Structure 1
């Protein structure tokens, strides 16, 4: 899909959403109400360190860089044509694929989601006063379509830009840009018109810090029906949609009164110093305990011990509160594995697309996954009962695999791979690397291995020496490796779209070659390939931008959401999105194998932890078993998300739905099928998807998508999949260009299909 088509889709979506925006009606969250007197006795913040908690080992898997050297000189330096708004280009690495990136783009007015709140810079006079706006939407406000009564619905979204509140001052400069600093994967600081807004994933309050001399103005386009002071520095406000919010004031102006000037404006009566104003939805004594302090940043750390792994969000705080702690909201996949000693509050608020969030009184969150896929490596693997590791093969299955390999190794590897797309070339390299692995490690055919290996090495070396049709360049503006092609080419790679998809295939292919040829990295071309894959990994999955200043931390994978975002530096009214869950975890699998074959234990551990988190989150938010309790009941029958945005889920793809049914939507969540596939896509889910969606249409699918769907079938019924792939009347046109019959047969037989 080209950039122009991509932008047209986004514009169409934004227009549709803007036409449907309304003030909505909702109720207060489940809470422990305390609307009486409030006399806060602040406690100083406790001393915390990055090593607090109970890590599984003494080593932080995010502390050591993959490399800290300047990117290889074979990548020419270039400034990006698209400059980040409100950011100082310098030592800080600016995130391209995470929650705050909309604030860096176009006119900075597209919303962001810290969860559970959405925020945006409102500068359109037709939408009311100018200010830094925010809102929260409930599940009952979701819009389903195109037929709101259909089950399943094709999409649902949350009405955007309902301006419940906005922070402003009495002397607004509408032309002033929002300035961003302290860029972090999980947080950023925004400054505008003498106000500072810490923006942090899961923050319990929306906080504005007013500089000395600034007169606070708090507005609401929804309108304020009732406003009253209920304690020292505490106010209760009910809007005309009947939603109750609590407002807290602290700092030098803490004793200053706020008053209702008119149904849309609350103003302060004095400006004798700086002050902090915090707003939250609902009423609770837990808000009282935590108001006054706020996170200004959030640091990520983690540790792994065998099949157990922990990851921690450490919230760095300012201010004072009764408890000395803040309030943090967690998503469902956090809640299931939370191990830190947090005080549960009973507070609940809906997230836009990921179920019900819960609030905890804490300064850190520690989550522990206990099923890291350390048992899954190179050989075919499945969760199907009875699947053995290592795989065993019958003589007849080995004969058929060998015949398939004999035909496929004769193909023109170099010519097929040396094309104008990092994505498609990566798929081709990975296809032949799988064939090589089968020849070397499964059928153990030295002649076929010797025939294919030099051709595959030659093809990889084209990319490792940056001699492909559109060489990569190092972008000094956003700090990353991007295609030198036009932004409209190769799915928007040069604007940071899909880097984990594209580069994951290259990394995985190089790891497979090194596994098949243990001397590979000792040769000149192997050393170049290793260095090339290392640079790709730094671009997508740099563990720390402090240790490696040349790339942002974890460009693609969002450790709060539990999956990656593929959407790069294009502004979007629904936030970041991801289409292919399977190519997301394929990147992590390639990273795992590359870490294994290079002896980088921290890299392998990070990848295993990522995969365990994705197994949990994707089966909540993207892959829907019949018993899914997270997504709306009228959406679960789709079985897969399609495209997952921060604010919307759309059962579709950017390139269409399918020639027969919706097979493209399902196939893009399957490819490529590797040993890690069954870890994420369990047999129960795969069987439900097959029986309910795919079995009725499979016989009519004429092209390569058929092969993808039938190889995926092996994850629940390998014998049926084997029957199709082993038939005598084989049709090469019915498998994807990134698939091979050799690997398909070896995989299916290896998990018990033959």
Structure 2
């Protein structure tokens, strides 16, 4: 489903790159109506392998090359986030423009600006959709809703308030679960705000933003809200305005503590009608302490102007002592640092702190953080916990920094098929090599230039990556260097169309937001064309395929790298720039280091927050970054991507891919085995292009790459297979999805998968348009020892 306007509903139209023409997307409930539109014409799955335009001469079959480790597993790289990939303007063949159809509503300062981050709703649409901080969500009330506040409304939804969809007849699992939106438990506002209030944002980073409210948008803001992912408090800065504390739930009681938790800090207990308890702390930096006068059940007002900060936190029942200890201090941002030493990587969140210097911050960690904490950080965790919307239970940590450790970095995964606890494999018997070689001769002789010449960066990239895998397999597994060389030359020519920016919709560098986008929406006026690439949807998917192709070409022809490095690095910088020194691109447009995975959703408003559909294409982009860093000699990029891939693996196995022992997601939902579409506020076991089970599960399988078994473990694949596809059910699936399912099956039964792909009457229509029979045969054969 592709929208035709830049405003999207709570269904969160991420326009994920796999949306093919199809009917049947029936999303879970949302607060506002879905925009409608037409899907792109390019199909996801090909109906056949195109007939070769010519066959190349048969070259002598050479023995496979010795397996080389993709990088030194003893590599030691410090401070992997410090060095930019580049700082130059994008290459000269990429034209520049200063406009973008999505307005930067209320944004202050100069770019580049983040486009796929948690706070996007503050500058999109009418600025009234929720922002999800985890564990809280905040919304600009704008004089509406149950509190009628003009300030920032804070909500926390406990697990018991989740709404579950009807259970599946096949599995008994709920099709979706969602948390209600629009709840205004506590709002922080000011008497000076009212109709005409203007919301602006500044200090936009990859982990934080500052929201400002003022009566008319002029002068100093009346209230500033520094918002950081994982904050235990929602904090408001006052500089002489008169605070209002409002609620749409109604107060049962508002009680001031008779004993201040620390000098200068006043404490209130807000007991609401839903029996929730919220703690309010006010640290005054000048003037008098905060004195609240309860006007009615929905309003408590300060008796005079206030200078300082007001902080609000929900008490799960045992949080008072922790909140007392942390009150008066608050985060304003997060500094990310990390290092890699062999197969061990660490990354640290150092929180920028303001307020009381001697107070330690309280921050909430997600399950994948807690599972990877180092000993020091683990010792600072507490038993204070709050439910999150889609990431299980968050745990409060009393510390100014966290360090996480990943001790199984995939440094030994390269271009060849890979087996856990074994490593890369490439051996084939002579008979098997002959069978696959015959197929490879046909596929490598297809017209790569024509097939990749599409009006979509996504489908063009998939075509290029498909042929890159064929050429790689021919060279590194089949050992036919002559045939591989012929295919490589064609692949270079096909890639050159894009490196020279001569494709149907050339890329442009636009300075309004700061990034490289397709010109398709500029030329057509359609925000949804090419899945919203012009609006920053799915860039890590789209560009990931190009980066992967470049890595393969560079692997086979190292001399090619120098001429194309600036172009490929431009794509890398667009999706995964690690440094603020690069003034042309935001830091980590796609990947969210707090959540441990990427968000595909760009410049489209959404009541349910950011979302992502294909977890496998997310890891594809990270694998592509790793391999490009390896072949291009960027040790920082390779090390950083190895760490990213390990973090993704941990996060996806908690939030996206569910074995029966998953304790993070609700028990009612894990029977689905895969998320479907994961939003910040809901998970919907569905796709944007249809409700067939092969779509929903399969979109988390493609493309099949060497790192796939690392993320999609044999235990997970076995459970998923038995749930949905065993006993001939996979073989009954029509079209290219059958090939996707059987390629995935190679993880647990490579010989069975090979038997399917090598059958004499194999129908080419069983191949996804981005997959090749050559790669599937090589992959399953070498894993099966055939």
**TM-score with structure 1 length normalisation?**
0.91
For 1:388 and 1:118, locate their aligned partners in 2 and report how far apart those are by CA, in whole Å. Answer: 43
For 1:418 and 1:161, locate their aligned partners in 2 and report how far apart those are by CA, in whole Å. Answer: 46
* Residue of structure 2 aligned with 1:426, choices 444, 461, 469: 461
Structure 1 residues 11 and 591, CA, compared in 2 at 3 Å: closer, same or farther? closer
Q: For each residue in 1:192-216, what CA deviation from the matched residue of structure 2 results, as whole angstroms up to 9, or x when unmatched?
A: 121010100111101111112x110
User: Structure with the greater relative contact order (CA < 8 A, sep ≥ 6): 1 or 2?
Assistant: 2
Structure 1 residues 172 and 441, CA, compared in 2 at 3 Å: closer, same or farther? same
Q: What is residue 200 of structure 1 aligned with on the other side?
A: 228
* Residue of structure 2 aligned with 1:116, choices 135, 150, 155: 135
Q: Which runs of 5+ in 2 are unaligned?
A: 14-26, 34-74, 215-221, 261-265, 522-526
* Residue of structure 1 aligned with 2:157, choices 137, 148, 155: 137
Q: What is residue 509 of structure 1 aligned with on the other side?
A: 549
For 2:657 and 2:81, locate their aligned partners in 1 and report how far apart those are by CA, in whole Å. Answer: 29
Q: What is residue 734 of structure 1 aligned with on the other side?
A: 766
Q: What is residue 243 of structure 2 aligned with on the other side?
A: 216
Residue 336 of structure 1: SS of its match in structure 2? Answer: helix
For 2:432 and 2:287, locate their aligned partners in 1 and report how far apart those are by CA, in whole Å. Answer: 78
Q: For each residue in 1:48-106, what CA deviation from the matched residue of structure 2 results, as whole angstroms up to 9, or x when unmatched?
A: xxxxxxxx97721111000011111211112111121111352x321111111111101
Q: How many residues align?
A: 704
Structure 1 residues 466 and 358, CA, compared in 2 at 3 Å: closer, same or farther? same
Tell me if structure 1 keeps the 8 A contact 2:626–2:637. Answer: yes
For 2:182 and 2:409, locate their aligned partners in 1 and report how far apart those are by CA, in whole Å. Answer: 40
Q: What is residue 193 of structure 2 aligned with on the other side?
A: 172
For 2:439 and 2:247, locate their aligned partners in 1 and report how far apart those are by CA, in whole Å. Answer: 67
Q: What is residue 405 of structure 1 aligned with on the other side?
A: 440
Q: For each residue in 1:360-408, what CA deviation from the matched residue of structure 2 results, as whole angstroms up to 9, or x when unmatched?
A: 111111111101001111111022x6x5634321111111110110110
Residue 3 of structure 1: SS of its match in structure 2? Answer: coil
Tell me if structure 2 keeps the 8 A contact 1:436–1:516. Answer: no
Q: What is residue 492 of structure 1 aligned with on the other side?
A: 532
Tell me if structure 2 keeps the 8 A contact 1:538–1:551. Answer: yes
**1:656-735 aligned within 5 A:** 656-658=690-692, 662-696=693-727, 697-735=729-767
CA RMSD across the alignment: 2.0
Tell me if structure 1 keeps the 8 A contact 2:390–2:683. Answer: yes
- Judge which range, 371-380 or 274-283, deviates more: 274-283
For 2:336 and 2:423, locate their aligned partners in 1 and report how far apart those are by CA, in whole Å. Answer: 37
**1:391-470 aligned within 5 A:** 391-470=426-505
**1:87-126 aligned within 5 A:** 87-88=107-108, 90=110, 92-125=111-144
* Residue of structure 2 aligned with 1:18, choices 7, 28, 31: 31
Residue 583 of structure 2: SS of its match in structure 1? Answer: coil
For 1:741 and 1:5, locate their aligned partners in 2 and report how far apart those are by CA, in whole Å. Answer: 39
Q: Confirm or deny that 1:81 pairs with 2:109.
A: no
Structure 1 residues 82 and 6, CA, compared in 2 at 3 Å: closer, same or farther? closer
Tell me if structure 1 keeps the 8 A contact 2:7–2:605. Answer: no
Tell me if structure 1 keeps the 8 A contact 2:427–2:785. Answer: no
Q: Which runs of 5+ in 1 are unaligned?
A: 21-55
Structure 1 residues 147 and 371, CA, compared in 2 at 3 Å: closer, same or farther? closer
**1:603-618 aligned within 5 A:** 603-618=637-652
- Judge which range, 201-210 or 8-17, deviates more: 8-17
For 1:677 and 1:371, locate their aligned partners in 2 and report how far apart those are by CA, in whole Å. Answer: 15
Tell me if structure 1 keeps the 8 A contact 2:246–2:298. Answer: yes
Q: Confirm or deny that 1:620 pairs with 2:654.
A: yes
Cα distance, 1:654 vs structure 2? 0.7
Cα distance, 1:445 vs structure 2? 1.1
Structure 1 residues 167 and 7, CA, compared in 2 at 3 Å: closer, same or farther? closer
Tell me if structure 2 keeps the 8 A contact 1:720–1:753. Answer: no
Structure 1 residues 685 and 397, CA, compared in 2 at 3 Å: closer, same or farther? same
Tell me if structure 2 keeps the 8 A contact 1:557–1:565. Answer: yes
Q: What is residue 379 of structure 1 aligned with on the other side?
A: 416
Q: Confirm or deny that 1:257 pairs with 2:257.
A: no
For 1:453 and 1:57, locate their aligned partners in 2 and report how far apart those are by CA, in whole Å. Answer: 33
Q: What is residue 383 of structure 2 aligned with on the other side?
A: 346
For 2:109 and 2:434, locate their aligned partners in 1 and report how far apart those are by CA, in whole Å. Answer: 59
Q: Confirm or deny that 1:235 pairs with 2:268.
A: yes
Cα distance, 1:517 vs structure 2? 2.2
Q: What is residue 37 of structure 2 aligned with on the other side?
A: none
For 2:775 and 2:416, locate their aligned partners in 1 and report how far apart those are by CA, in whole Å. Answer: 11
**1:552-563 aligned within 5 A:** 552-563=586-597
Q: For each residue in 1:311-348, what CA deviation from the matched residue of structure 2 results, as whole angstroms up to 9, or x when unmatched?
A: 11111111116x52110100000001112445232100
Residue 537 of structure 1: SS of its match in structure 2? Answer: helix
